[in-house]
Structure 1
C-alpha cells in the first residue's frame, strides 16, 4: 500500500511515517498499519484533528479485532447451520410470543443462568431457533457451544473409557451457553442419562442451557431409561427456565409444498393444486 499522496513528504516526514507504521506493526495493530495511509489522506482532506484521525485509525483496529473474536467464537460454537432468529418465521409458529423471542434475543437470560426448553414435533423450527439464539449469544460476546444429545452421550462415553471424564465435564461446564439439540429423537445408551445429568448438574444456576426435544417432559423417563434421573434432571433444568412449545406445520413440509407449487405453476400455469 502506498504512502499518502495528498502532499509530498519531505525526508523527515517520510521517516516519521515509516516509524509510525513500524510501531503499529510491532504492536501487532495490523489493521491500523494497513489503513494508516488512507486515514492520513482523509485527515488531510477533511481537516481532521490529530485526535479525530487517531480515533478513526484505532476504530478500524477495534472493528477488525471484534470481527476476529466473533469469528473465533462462532468456530468454537460449532453451529450446524447459518440459521438466524431474523430468518425464523414466527407467523408459522402461532404458539410463540414474539415479545418473548425478542427478550431471548437480548441474551439477558444468560445473566441469570436461565435455561430455555424448546419442545415440539419434528420440523417446526426448534433447531433453527436454538441456532439463532446461540448465534445471538456469540455475537454478544458469550462463549457458546452446540451439540446434539446423541453426540454428547457418545463423547462422554468415550471419555469415561479413556479416563478423560473430568476433562470432558469441564469442557461442557465451560461455555456460558450450551445448546443440547434433539433429545428424544434417537435412542440413547444406558449411560447417557447419567452423562446428561452430570452436565446439567455442573451448570446448574451457573450457566445456561438451551435444550430442544420432540418429547414432552412427562415422557423423559422413557427417553432416558431412568425415571429417577429424569426427574432430577428436570428439577434442575426447570428451576430457572423458559419453556417454549412450538407447533404448526413442519418447515420442511412447507418448503416442499412451496417448491411443488412453484414447479406446478412453471410447468402447467395452474395457480392451484391439481385435483
Structure 2
C-alpha cells in the first residue's frame, strides 16, 4: 500500500510518540484508520520519508546524504546527542546548508541503526528518549478567537482574532480579521512568519475547516485541505492536526 501525501502527513506526526513508547501501533492504527501492518511499515526505520524520485526514475539525492558519515560518527561518540546540537555543529564546523528538519528525519533512521552497532537494545534506546520536549523553532500552535460584534457600531458584523504561539519560547502573535476564509487564514500565517522571522518546522491545528477538508469520526484518517497541504509544502512545515477529543494538545495557544 502506498500512502497519499495527506495520509502520510497524518501518520508521520505519530513517529515521535511511537519511538518514545508513548503510543502503540494499535492506537495509531485506530487513530488514523489505517491497517496495523501499514502503520508498522511506514513508521519503521526504513520509511523515514515518502520515496521521492528524480526525473530519471532514480531516488533523489538528499542534502543530508553529504554529511551522513559525520552524523553517524557523532552518534557513535554519543548516541543520545540531540539533533539540534548535531545540526548546529554541521552548520558551524562543516558549512552545512540544510535545515534542522532534514537532520531530524535522518536521525530517525540513523540512531536505531548506530545503537544496534553499539549493542544497545531497542528498548534501552527508547528509554533514553522518554522525555518529549520541543526544541526552539520546532513547533507553533494556531487558533482562532471570536471577538464578537465589537465593531458592529461601524458596520462590521463580526471580528476574529488569529493567534500563533511558538511552543518553545511562548512568543505570541495576534492579528484581527473580519473573515476566516482561506485567503485570510494564509495571510495571517505570512504575517506571523514575518513577526517571528522564520517558519516553524510544524504547526499544530485543531480540526478547522481551513485545514481539514471534512470532519470524520474518531479513528478515521483526517483528509487535509489541499490548499493547506500546498501552503505547508511551499513554506516547508508539517501540518499537525489534533486528534479528536484531545483539547490539551494546543495548551500553549489555548492559554
TM-score range, shorter chain: under 0.3
- Larger Cα-atom Rg: 1
The structure richer in helix per residue is 1
Q: TM-score, normalised by structure 2?
A: 0.24
